Amino acid sequence: MNPTRITVAFDSSTANLLEIISKEEGLSQSEIMRRALRFYSENRVLEDATTRKKIYTYMDLLLNGEHIILDVDHWLLFLKLAESCPSADKFWKEHRDVAKSHREQLKSKVLTSEELLSRLEACNFFRVTKNSDEDFTLILGSELPKTFVRIFLEEYFAGMGVKAEIKENLAKLRVTVTR
């Protein structure tokens, strides 16, 4: 099969980039362009800024090995067990300590309350509805994670110096940031 030849005009920075990649990979410029087009075709979804941000958040969470993917049913079983066990108070105290530790670890990555809520939404703890710049509704998939999420937010916000009122509904939390 004869290849189809096309001519493409590049600005100088793009031409330099093609030259560098070609040399680094030891591949022809044609092969680099073929691979780039296939990669673009497979990953076009990343053009959407919201999707791209979510993907980068997932990568940040998972690639360093500090987080796991856990089925929601397993998650809820663990919460049921924690709430019903005789040492539940100890669990909640240690959960507060973990939230404080997370704040220390993420203080250069998560700078605002909205960024925190967005990151936790990416973890599937809840879905966020932004009612205003200061008011958010967190829609939980169940009533069970309500206490877990509330305690985490209280500790994290406190570490940020953010004052927030958190009101509980049946399967929702209403967060109003007052700063």
Examine the pLDDT at 179 and tell me if it is beyond 80.
no
Q: Is residue 120 part of a domain?
A: yes
Are 169 and 83 contained in the same domain? yes
* Domain encompassing residue 31: 13-42
Please check whether residues 89 and 147 belong to one and the same domain: yes
Token output for 1? 């099969």
d(CA 157, CA 123): 18
Total Cβ atoms within 10 A of residue 82? 17
| pTM summary value | 0.79
pLDDT beyond 90 at 44: yes
pLDDT tens digit string along 72-124?
999 999 999 999 999 999 999 999 999 999 999 999 999 999 999 999 999 99
C-beta separation of 129 from 143 below 8 A: no
Q: Is 48 helix (H, G, I), strand (E, B) or coil?
A: coil
Q: Is residue 61, in this structure, part of any structural domain at all?
A: no
- The per-residue pLDDT for 28 is 95
Model pLDDT for residues 3-39, shown as the tens digit of each residue: 889 999 999 999 999 999 999 999 999 999 999 999 9
What does the block give as tokens for 166?
A: 């958190």
Tokens 């959960």 locate to 95
